[in-house]
Structure 1
Amino acid sequence: MTGKDVPALHEAAGAIPPGTRVNVTFLGNEDLDMRVSAAKAVKDAGFIPVPHISARRLASQAQLEEFLDRLQQVGATEHVFAVGGDPATPEGPYDSAYDVIRSGVLQKYGVREVSISGYPEGHPDIPSDVLWDHLEKKTASLADQGLGSVILTQFSFDTDPVIQWIDEVRRRDIDATIRIGTPGPAGIKRLLAFATRFGVGANAMIVKKYGFSLTNLLGTAGPDRFVTELAERLGDGSGDVKLHMYAFGGLKATADWARDFQAKATS
């Protein structure tokens, strides 16, 4: 959710199980009060807030500490998501999420677990070897500091690169929980727009496998096939793998889908 999504959170709350993690983004067009208020709303609703820390958007260590201090005041610092962020040029001293992690600032404000980014299909602007190097450095640094780690991935329409990427993560002896990014039900045009923005594969064969066609962009698509196939393909060596739902079609639509899918799976 974003800082503007508090009303949407309240609308969806009845369909979200207590204790669910809800990420709160760090957007350039939102201010400190909006981010903290959103994290507090998540906490007050009985969920676990996971506020984002956008490294390249931080102008100084003082700004990072002010953000963490405000979050700690509302009980929202145990779980955070450290991400590099969009600006091509850092606005302050942090060039990457790794710089924030190794700063030693997080523990001072009660952080116990840090989510970090994973890219099963690569990143449009970062070479693959750099992505792997930073993933290894970040998980190692968190372990050295006694902090838990979760790898939260970019979304995908295709299980093939996801399974291959999970296998490579484990081959590198990284045993962190992996949460595979999964788009909740959303308009097909909207899904394709996000795929283009984030470099996610969306050719005709891939999207047909996922459950929609590039020749008919009307309507919505959900991740039923993707989630079912992913569960079937995970093996003993996959380790702890869960989902992270991207609410591209809205919080309530995503929460309703997850509730209904789980009900069908257990019936």
Structure 2
Amino acid sequence: MTVPLIHPNWAKPPVTMTDGYSLEITAKDVAALREAAPLIPAETPVAITFLPGEETQARIAAAVAVRELGFEPMPHFSARRIVSQGEFETYLAAVAQDAGVRRCFIVAGDPPEPQGPFFDTSALIATGAFERAGIRAIGVGGHPEGHPVMSPAECWDVLERKIGDVERRGMAPLVVTQFGFDPDAFLGWLKEARQRGIDTPIRIGVPGPASIRTLLRFAARCGVGASASVMKKYGVSLSSLIGSAGPDRLVDAFWDGLGDEHGRVRLHFYPFGGVRATVEWIAGYERRHGG
């Protein structure tokens, strides 16, 4: 059974490509989110990352702050970084009770070996803890430009299995992709996903405006393609690493290229250059495009 997503951002077609966007923050970004809050639409989903070295209480406080600011908190759970079943369920219960969390995002995590009992996201889903906590939607990752340790076929198999696992437990699946710079790769991946029968809503990862060096640093860290030809499509010449770049060309290409065959799509912003800079760019983009 597929449960409808519980967010109004998916209830109507977008007016501009940035309509119904979501954001990603760390626990350290709460002050920046609060400063940018007047520019962010009410109920905007805000994902809260699960970074190594952060205190659980800081993540909980971030989720509470997101809710208090009038947005929809979506905390991450990094399977291989969770050291015990108790830690997992305690954190989940806290964000559900204190921040009214009803949607979560799950990733396997970077460590090659688990630091606790969970090797991957399927192991988290299989506990049944999410539905017991009242979670209604689960986000999983998509990799339009491939995965460093999985073949394309394995990526599709894993994605389809996770979506099925979430649906069988009565929750709504959502796919959020890694960020990238190549619209053609994303549009092709979206089309293939729909051809494979994946009708789940999908959020395309987009880097917020940042210095060129910062964008390339995050690309290298996340295994994202950033060749000279790809970056030229994005509007950046690798012959000069001075200055900053925004995702104008990328977002325009999505707006021009998306059709019915790509299904339900929204954007998810990774604010590498800062939350305020990203939100101001989105507001400016909407003004320029009649939003």
Tell me the residue number matched to 1:229.
Answer: 253
Tell me the residue number matched to 1:214.
Answer: 238
> Distance between the aligned counterparts of 2:163 and 2:171, measured in 1?
9
> Distance between the aligned counterparts of 1:130 and 1:95, measured in 2?
16
Contact 1:83 1:116 in 2 (8 A): yes
Tell me the residue number matched to 1:63.
Answer: 87
1:72 matched to 2:72? The reply is: no
Cα shift readout 1:181-219 (whole Å, capped 9, x = no counterpart): 000100000000111111211111111110111011111
> Distance between the aligned counterparts of 1:45 and 1:37, measured in 2?
12
Contact 1:150 1:178 in 2 (8 A): yes
Tell me the residue number matched to 2:287.
Answer: 263
Tell me the residue number matched to 1:41.
Answer: 65
Cα shift readout 1:148-174 (whole Å, capped 9, x = no counterpart): 111000111111110111011111111
> Distance between the aligned counterparts of 2:100 and 2:48, measured in 1?
10
Q: Which amino acid is the alignment partner of residue 45 of structure 1?
A: L
> Distance between the aligned counterparts of 2:283 and 2:55, measured in 1?
32
Tell me the residue number matched to 2:144.
Answer: 120
Bigger Cα displacement from structure 2, 39-48 vs 12-21: 12-21
Match of 1:166 among 176, 190, 194: 190
Match of 1:240 among 237, 248, 264: 264
Tell me the residue number matched to 2:35.
Answer: 11
Deviation at 1:75, TM superposition (A): 2.8
> Distance between the aligned counterparts of 1:76 and 1:29, measured in 2?
25
Total equivalences in the alignment: 267
Contact 1:72 1:109 in 2 (8 A): yes
> Distance between the aligned counterparts of 1:110 and 1:78, measured in 2?
6
> Distance between the aligned counterparts of 1:181 and 1:37, measured in 2?
25
Q: Which runs of 5+ in 1 are unaligned?
A: none
Q: Which amino acid is the alignment partner of residue 281 of structure 2?
A: W
Alignment partner of 2:159: what SS?
helix
Q: Identity of paired residues, percent?
A: 45
Tell me the residue number matched to 1:110.
Answer: 134
1:32 matched to 2:74? The reply is: no
Match of 2:166 among 142, 161, 164: 142
Match of 2:108 among 69, 84, 92: 84
Deviating runs (4+, > 2 A) in structure 1? 125-130
> Distance between the aligned counterparts of 1:234 and 1:133, measured in 2?
24
Q: Which runs of 5+ in 2 are unaligned?
A: 1-24
